[in-house]
A and B are shown apart, each in its own frame.
Chain A
Amino acid sequence: MRVNPDPTPTILAALATTQQAEETALQQMATGRRVNKPSDDPAASAVLVENHDASSRDDQYLQSLAGVQAQMQNADQALNSVVTALQRAITLGVQGNNGTMSDANRASVVQELQGIQQQLMSTANLTFQGQFVFAGTATQTQPFVADSNSPSGVRYAGNGNTNQVAIGKGFNIQVNLPGSQLFTAPGNDMFQSINDLITSLQSGSSADAAIASVRKSFDYVTAQRVFYGNAMAQMDSQQNYLNNEKLGLSSQEDSIAGADMATVVSSLTTSMTARTATLSAIGQISQVDLFDYLR
């Protein structure tokens, strides 16, 4: 059979193929990725869309988590100082309740208790980034205001609502407790109990009931701190989980879209060799035909 006398088109096509392979390998090498556009691997591209979404959401959960952690730590510290203050109030109450104490000394105890009352008020009105922490969701309103009409001398102006923040897919965490629950819950109103203690000491009558009531408030606020402790623990473990998940996602991305450098390098070398060989073949081919030998 007669052969095709002009191999040029075939060689040029082969050249285009190797050149294409070379470009692909170079692109994979430069980007470090095997999948650079959807047609490189349609199924992997679809997985990548989900992967990028999940990974970016995880980043956001971590960021939200960090913000919430700061808020809650701040609130927890405030509660800690409330607990310390209440403890001091109990000590003072016991001292002042002692019948042997002089009136002058009792007056100075009362004075210190009034200081504690002020301190508790200011702590309950704690702000974080310009917002009242213990006002429920009414964060723009000062939650605890002095009110002589109120038996405890304090009125709650916030609301009883709470906020939740997502720190994982389908994982929401409550981020605040309203001041009405923390400080002025019926039967556990710390302002009421301090007020009662001061009143009893001032009147010179037995402060036993008032001290018991302050103690009760102390126990109650301490118990409420568990909420923050639990939330912190949850967030810590969620933080670990998210970081692990991100690692998993990024290794998944690597395995489905990353270029295997060894393979890429070898395919680049192969196609470069093939191209050089083809080029030199083109250079030599058909340089000589029978016409050259005719004289």
Chain B
Amino acid sequence: MSGLFGTMSTALSALQAEQGALEATTNNVANANTPGFSRQRAIMVESDPVVQGSLSFGTGVSLQLQSLRDPILELRLNQETQQQGQLDAQVSAMQQIETMFSSDSGDLGSLMTSFFNSVDQLSTDPSSMPLRQGVLTAAGNMANGFRNTARNLQQQQSNIDLNVGQTVDQVNVLTKQIADLNGEISGMQNLSEDPSTFLDQRTNLIRQLSQLVDVAVVQSDNSIAVTTSAGTALVEGQQSFNLSTQLSNTGVQEVMAQGADITSKISAGKLGGLIQVRDQTIPSILGQLDTLAGGLSTALNAANRSGSDLTGTAGGALFTAPPASGTGAAADMTLLITDPSLLAASSDGTPGSNGNLAKFTAVSTQTIASGQTPTDYYANLVFQIGSDVSNGTAESDASNLILQQLQDQRASLSGVSLDEEAANLVRYQQSYSAAARVVSTLNDLLDTAVNLGKD
């Protein structure tokens, strides 16, 4: 038995423990809406007993606080966030591209059809100036359509490129913060302090980083190392390694890590999605537009050259000749003639002949683009873009659902329930009142003991 003072200190330990538990509850309530917060649970632990003879007296209670978090779940969340970041970036970029290929009166398909229609119309009256002008206007619209679509795509590409640069900057800010937190956490852990708050912050930052780039997290004793999934170090202990960008010879920003080009190795996160659209999707669409524009220009130029114009002179090129490599054929497609009489409709040199116009319209059914007719080739391109977007959207929706599920799981472990906290509040409050009552009773007892023998 430790005497009244010993009992008093037991009561005091109860007061302290309950007050600590109340504090933890208060903190939980305060952070009920803080993203990434892991609730803390107060765990009461018996203090070591005092043994006297055959009796063993408890010496009160001590408080431990436990943060509820599941590292494996956090890992899954990171992975899914990377996936989501990539798909979001891809889909939103592709949706902007898709509108250029929506079937309405202004799309490339209808511009091509209008051109061939105008040629047919001219064939009913081949020397008519208004009809010739109509063909030139339609040809100009078609060339403009190719040019604008290609240039819009290039603009989109350079916007994405800008975004790549900004995203790399964001990555660097986050890795720096993670490295700093690593320092704080290992410092506290060395002093056996609880770094819970910093752990939550670090988890949050890694989640944000996962949104941007595919990362792998390796846990070592007191700190973590963050690398890209291809193995490029981003954070090691308290040291962060900046990514940088460098202009490539094709005019886009390459992502560099310590002097090495890691652009093609970034496979997920926003950065991965942006790079994929910038380096693969858009160039592929541009390439197909070039094939189509180049095929049309070459075939229609040949058609115009094979006839004679209103004055009986042999026709010239209708559009700029596509470059030998094919690259840029769409972006540079321009109508070369402005004088309607230069349109070579005649096959026999007389203005009334329409014999050569059949060679123009024949192009619409010739396999001028990779073995396909212009309309088939364009329809294929539309299909491809549409299915890219719809597949991306479906994947993104699925990934969203998984992410939601995981977040739900996380919240069911780490989230703050106000009901639960209220119940705890009552519990701890009552225990605190009881302990205070004990102190007051002990005080009376001490009083009695101190005044023993007086009077």
Chain A residues proximal to chain B, CB less than 8 Å: 1-6, 9-10, 13, 35-43, 45-50, 52-53, 56-57, 59-61, 63-64, 67-68, 71, 129, 131, 135-140, 159, 161, 163-166, 169-170, 172, 175, 286, 289-291, 294
Contacts and interface: CB of A to CB of B under 8 A. Distances in A.
A45 B386 contact: yes
Given A38-B102, A289-B419, A165 B124 contact: yes
Nearest to A47: B379
B422 interface: yes
Nearest to A35: B103
Judged by DSSP, the binding face of B is helix
A43 B422 CA distance: 57
A42 B390 contact: yes
Nearest to A20: B397
A39 B390 contact: yes
Given A38-B98, A45-B386, A64-B123, A5 B348 contact: no
Interface in B99-133: 99, 101-103, 109-110, 112-114, 116-117, 120-121, 123-128
Contact of A5 (B378, B387, B420): B420
A39 B393 contact: yes
A68 B103 contact: no
A49 B101 CA distance: 10
A67 B426 CA distance: 93
Contact of A172 (B352, B358, B418, B425): B358
A276 B233 CA distance: 49
Given A50-B379, A163-B352, A68 B400 contact: no
Contacts of A164: 123, 354-355, 358
B383 A166 contact: no
Contact of B382 (A38, A63, A129, A166): A38
17 contacts: A6-B415, A39-B95, A42-B384, A46-B383, A49-B109, A52-B110, A56-B110, A57-B120, A60-B121, A137-B346, A137-B348, A138-B350, A138-B352, A139-B350, A164-B354, A164-B355, A164-B358
Given A50-B375, A53-B109, A159 B350 contact: yes
Top 3 A-B pairs, shortest CB-CB distance: A38-B386, A139-B352, A42-B386
Tell me which of A3, A13, A49 has the highest count of chain B C-beta atoms within 10 A of its own C-beta.
Answer: A49
Nearest to A37: B102
A4 B102 contact: no
A73 B382 CA distance: 44
Contacts of B425: 294
B383 A38 contact: yes
A169 to B, nearest CB: 8
Contacts of A46: 379-380, 382-383, 386
A62 B361 CA distance: 16
Contacts of B413: 2
A60 B117 CA distance: 6
B322 interface: no
Interface stretch (B192-200, B270-278, B403-411): B403-411
A289 B422 contact: yes
Contacts of A291: 418, 422
A41 B376 CA distance: 17
A252 B62 CA distance: 79
Nearest to A9: B407
A3 B352 CA distance: 85
A36 B103 CA distance: 8
A165 B416 CA distance: 79
Nearest to A141: B350
B354 A49 contact: no
B148 to A, nearest CB: 18
A161 B102 contact: no
A131 B352 contact: yes
A45 B120 contact: no
A158 to B, nearest CB: 9
Contact of A139 (B351, B379, B409, B422): B351
B412 interface: yes
A47 B39 CA distance: 56
A45 B378 CA distance: 11
B303 to A, nearest CB: 14
Contact of A38 (B101, B125, B404, B416): B101
Contact of B127 (A43, A52, A59, A140): A140
Contact of B416 (A5, A53, A67, A131): A5
B385 interface: yes
A167 B378 CA distance: 24
A294 B102 CA distance: 60
A61 B121 CA distance: 8
B189 interface: no
A12 to B, nearest CB: 10
Given A38-B386, A45-B383, A139-B127, A5 B417 contact: yes
A102 B113 CA distance: 70
B124 A64 contact: yes
B142 to A, nearest CB: 13
Contacts of B127: 131, 139-140
Given A37-B99, A38-B98, A42-B387, A161 B407 contact: no
A58 B114 CA distance: 12
